[in-house]
Structure 1
Amino acid sequence: MTDPMIVSVPANDIDSLSLQLNTGSLRVQEQIIPQLADLGNEGLDVLMEFLLKRRDTPATWVDGKAYQVLHKSDAPKVQEFLQNNFPEGIVPLKSECGINYNPLQQLLAIQDFQAADLATIQKMCELAGPTAVQRKWLYFTDVDNFPAIDLQTINTLWLVHSEGKFGFSVQREIWLGLGKKWDDFWSKIGWKNGNNWTRYPHEFTWDLNAPKGHLPLSNQLRGVRVIASLFAHPVWSKNLEK
């Protein structure tokens, strides 16, 4: 159903599309971005101007959607624009421990969610230290010591590049909304169907058709304690609570 707030304009009316992109609701912006993507260089120019205006404000999933369109383009001027203004991507890659989150951002920008999920676990193991890197999975006690800024960076990357559908904060909000009932939570996010756990990797949905909160998996195969520690981390009350 078309959003009633979207004014019907000719598909090639760049000025009208630009106005709606810059002043419309999230729903409007969501629909305008692919229209601009279909208009070639003129549409790309509008998206570049849009991101440039918002560069000094925290990135949202709308910025991520616009960035992804530009990231796919092989136009030299677009690639130059991204290199000059967003060399590491749309989300600032802050880390207290010097962790390089650029590979994760690049995977999420092309929406390779399965590879991004693996990269997320790898980066979290890096945060936990050499022993965790070697064993390739986490203890719940590792999570307790994660710097808030790093956990926020990982979460923001997932939020921004998934239209707000994926991320630890999304999962936590769903869990809280279900009264912290784990069985209801597993079913809601598609990790369990009845008594059957979703089998990795083929039964998971690695695209935006997945249920909200489906990703990242956060050590899903090793029980509840890691994700419980993630949800209990102080980063959410400090930075990410709505």
Structure 2
Amino acid sequence: MLSGPPVTTTVDADQLLERFLAANPRQRRSLLSQVLQRSAELRPLIPGQLDRLDATSDDWAAGLLIQLLVADDDSLTQTFRERYSEGWLAVTSASGIDYAPLQRALVDQQFEEADRLTSEHLRQLAGEAAVQRGYVYYSEVPPIASVDLESIDRLWVMYSQGRFGFSVQIRLLRSLNGRWAQLWPRLGWKQGGVWTRYPRSFTWSLEAPEGHLPLVNQLRGVRLMDALLSHPGLQQRVSA
């Protein structure tokens, strides 16, 4: 019995979007390429979906949709930026820090600028002495309010497809049983954690290894990064 060629069916854009948002992490990864390929069809549907999503979560699916929405300079992008001038993701600060510039940089995938702002915010959170000297001591990390570190981490996770952020680095370190020497190559950092801010030393895109960003100054050893990744606010995010 002869049979014709296999029938291929294309899921409607709204169905694809619904499926993507409802998927578990593994399924979402498998759908990611389809969503990116059909972004032009999906863009008009995104504003309505964002109204239904939780702006207090850290589900990176919303971050991806926002990045697709702002990819073109048209009325959809302008309307979104005007409506969410402070950023779609709701973040707070116990120190009165404005995280809107960081959120804008991450939305636009300007990861080098986002990393610079993150370092600046960490100095602000550590106190005036850290701001004046230009870097943070590990002993200044524990008093930092959890809500601020959570806000910074949520922003990185949200707008990196879940690839970047302090919580991602914590999970990687745990998977290596706390072996710092094995963490550096996994992050794509120089062996031994040697840190430099020369742009060519790092990859400022989603093509970077998981956990590559944000950077943490390791010139004085692992104490600062250890203090950050051991902070209760970040530990709680990974354990939740």
By the TM > 0.5 criterion, same fold? yes
* 2:29 is equivalent to residue 27 of structure 1: yes
Structure 2: distance between partners of 1:145 and 1:73: 42
Equivalent position to 2:171, from 173, 180, 183:
173
Displacement after TM superposition at 1:91 (Å): 1.9
Displacement after TM superposition at 1:197 (Å): 4.1
Q: Percent identity?
A: 34
Displacement after TM superposition at 1:240 (Å): 3.6
* 2:78 is equivalent to residue 79 of structure 1: yes
Structure 2: distance between partners of 1:231 and 1:190: 18
Structure 1: distance between partners of 2:193 and 2:103: 32
Matches within 5 A, 1:121-160: 121-160=119-158
1:104 maps to which residue?
102
Matches within 5 A, 1:173-192: 173-192=171-190
Q: Evaluate the alpha carbon distance shift between residue 116 and residue 222 of structure 1 in structure 2; reply closer, same or farther with a 3 A threshold.
A: farther
Secondary structure (helix, strand or coil) at the match of 1:38 reads helix
| Long gaps (5+) in structure 1 | 1-7
AA matched with 1:151? L
| TM-score where L is the length of structure 2 | 0.85
Matches within 5 A, 1:2-13: 9-10=9-10, 13=12
1:218 maps to which residue?
216
Displacement after TM superposition at 1:145 (Å): 1.0
Structure 1: distance between partners of 2:195 and 2:164: 17
Secondary structure (helix, strand or coil) at the match of 1:221 reads coil
- Maintained 8 Å contact 2:169/2:211: yes
46-55 vs 14-23, greater mean Cα deviation? 14-23
* 2:53 is equivalent to residue 63 of structure 1: no
Secondary structure (helix, strand or coil) at the match of 2:183 reads helix
AA matched with 1:63? A
Displacement after TM superposition at 1:159 (Å): 0.6
Secondary structure (helix, strand or coil) at the match of 1:220 reads coil
Matches within 5 A, 1:221-236: 221-236=219-234
Q: Evaluate the alpha carbon distance shift between residue 150 and residue 56 of structure 1 in structure 2; reply closer, same or farther with a 3 A threshold.
A: closer
Equivalent position to 2:203, from 182, 202, 205:
205
1:5 maps to which residue?
none
Q: Evaluate the alpha carbon distance shift between residue 129 and residue 10 of structure 1 in structure 2; reply closer, same or farther with a 3 A threshold.
A: same
Structure 2: distance between partners of 1:49 and 1:108: 22
Displacement after TM superposition at 1:196 (Å): 8.7
AA matched with 2:40? D
Number of equivalences: 229
AA matched with 1:67? I
- Maintained 8 Å contact 2:166/2:229: yes
Structure 1 runs, 4 residues or longer, greater than 6 Å off: none
Displacement after TM superposition at 1:54 (Å): 0.6
Secondary structure (helix, strand or coil) at the match of 2:19 reads helix
Structure 2: distance between partners of 1:75 and 1:9: 31
- Maintained 8 Å contact 2:62/2:158: yes
Displacement after TM superposition at 1:229 (Å): 0.4
Displacement after TM superposition at 1:180 (Å): 1.1
Displacement after TM superposition at 1:66 (Å): 0.4
| Long gaps (5+) in structure 2 | 1-7
Q: Evaluate the alpha carbon distance shift between residue 196 and residue 120 of structure 1 in structure 2; reply closer, same or farther with a 3 A threshold.
A: closer
AA matched with 1:138? V
